[in-house]
Amino acid sequence: MKIEQAHRLKALPPYLFAEIDRMKAEVAARGVDIISLGVGDPDLPTPGHIIERMKRAVENPRHHQYPSYEGMPAFREAVSSWYRQRFGVILDPAREVVSLIGSKEGIAHTPLAFVNPGDVVLCPDPGYPVYSIGTIFAGGEVHLMPLLEENGFLPDLDAIPEEMRKRARLMFLNYPNNPTSATATKEFFEQVVQFAKRYNFLVCHDAAYTEVYFDDKAPPSFLEVPGASDVGVEFHSLSKTYNMTGWRIGWVCGHADAISAIGRIKTNIDSGIFQAVQEAAIEALTSDQEPVAELRRIYQGRRDLAREFLTKMKLRFTPPEASFYVWARTPSGLSSAQFVGRVLTETGVVLTPGNGFGKYGEGYFRISLTVNEERLSEAFSRIEKLKW
């Protein structure tokens, strides 16, 4: 019997990294030492005090039953307190915060709460693929907002066609940005708030990288801007800030009615987050933040190594002020896939092709700073020996 896939699966874009995975396996089979600068998965461990809180919490029998759908009140209070201290944003933990099994889960499910078949969702390109994928699963229509270098990798709101503005139900934004590492100003967010009010759509800001910043230039929250809580929500995660990618815990906060709608989707899809993990998250958010500052110092050292390498290679790039990615132009005459493929085949170093994040990522590649300085230097040394 032939099993027919649903139309929504057929509508998904092709897996652009499949060829890289194949080439990586071939190179590894030759005995080459692979250095992966491709995946944005922190290499450093979760801080010890968070792990210790988790150990104690696991032994508590009351955590072995179903958790609450919205998240433990203490977890939502910790999120609210963290937002107040970090951004000066006041959140009602009962009505304006809901827990997520990682921000990716919440982002993917959000269109189900607001998008009807044929509705438009404004998505950045290049961008995190889940924005478009969640839209497709909800039957929505994706309208791409190009993130161009000449615009500081910010979408040009004036370039969005009037028809798309009127049909839009959601706009996804992500600053500090993956993959470009660009940051946004409060002035830009103010423009977005006015734009969303004029056309009556919900802004969904993915803020997963706000705590990975350099040179003491702390990025703002979208919710810091006056009126933002009237038009938007913000997704956040403990994954990058506390090296907890495998723990799968995050949250979405902001507009109370929107949070309620997302919560309704979740109550019908999942059964919440293991409460021991929530206790560990409370420890992370409410304890001394020096481990986060130390993490920034480590990433800044790695960023500086990448900056020296790209300058020596005479490849065009904008030095990142935040995130642990570096976004750079490929050598003249080489596509994203050609450059990344050659680097992998000839040096064993894995980079990410820009076109994997959308058509406007063509001609770029991404370096992930998630290996130590010794391995990073080794990777750059190998690439420098190539002739272009």
pLDDT at 149: 97
Confidence class for position 39, pLDDT limits 50, 70, 90: confident
Q: What is the pLDDT of residues 118-146, one digit of tens each?
A: 999 999 999 999 999 999 999 999 999 99
* 150-152-157 Cα angle (round to 5): 90
**Which option is the CATH number for 48-286: 3.20.20.140, 3.40.50.300, 3.40.640.10, 3.90.650.10?**
3.40.640.10
More confident residue, 20 or 119: 119
From 362, 289, 360, 315, select the one nearest 78 (Cα to Cα): 289
Q: Name the percent of the chain lying above pLDDT 90.
A: 91
Confidence class for position 17, pLDDT limits 50, 70, 90: low
Stretch 14-27: mean pLDDT: 76
Q: Where in the chain is the domain with CATH 3.90.1150.10?
A: 7-45+291-384
pLDDT above 80: residue 324? yes
Confidence class for position 15, pLDDT limits 50, 70, 90: low
pLDDT at 10: 83
Is CATH 3.90.1150.10 the right assignment for the domain spanning 7-45+291-384? yes
pLDDT above 70: residue 76? yes
Per the prediction, the chain carries an average pLDDT of 96
Q: At 292, is the secondary structure helix, strand, or coil?
A: helix
pLDDT at 193: 98
Q: What is the pLDDT of residues 354-383, one digit of tens each?
A: 999 999 999 999 999 999 999 999 999 999
Confidence class for position 261, pLDDT limits 50, 70, 90: very high
Q: Where in the chain is the domain with CATH 3.40.640.10?
A: 48-286
Answer for the pair 240, 212: CB distance below 8 angstroms, yes or no.
yes
Helix axes 373-384, 336-347, angle to 10 degrees: 100
Answer for the pair 310, 328: CB distance below 8 angstroms, yes or no.
yes
Confidence class for position 16, pLDDT limits 50, 70, 90: low
Q: Name the percent of the chain lying above pLDDT 70.
A: 99
Q: What is the pLDDT of residues 269-318, one digit of tens each?
A: 999 999 999 999 999 999 999 999 999 999 999 999 999 999 999 999 99
pLDDT above 80: residue 61? yes
Give Cα separations from 109 to 64, 176, 190, 239, 257 (angstroms).
26, 22, 26, 19, 16
pLDDT above 70: residue 243? yes
Q: What is the pLDDT of residues 139-183, one digit of tens each?
A: 999 999 999 999 999 999 999 999 999 999 999 999 999 999 999
Stretch 244-254: mean pLDDT: 97
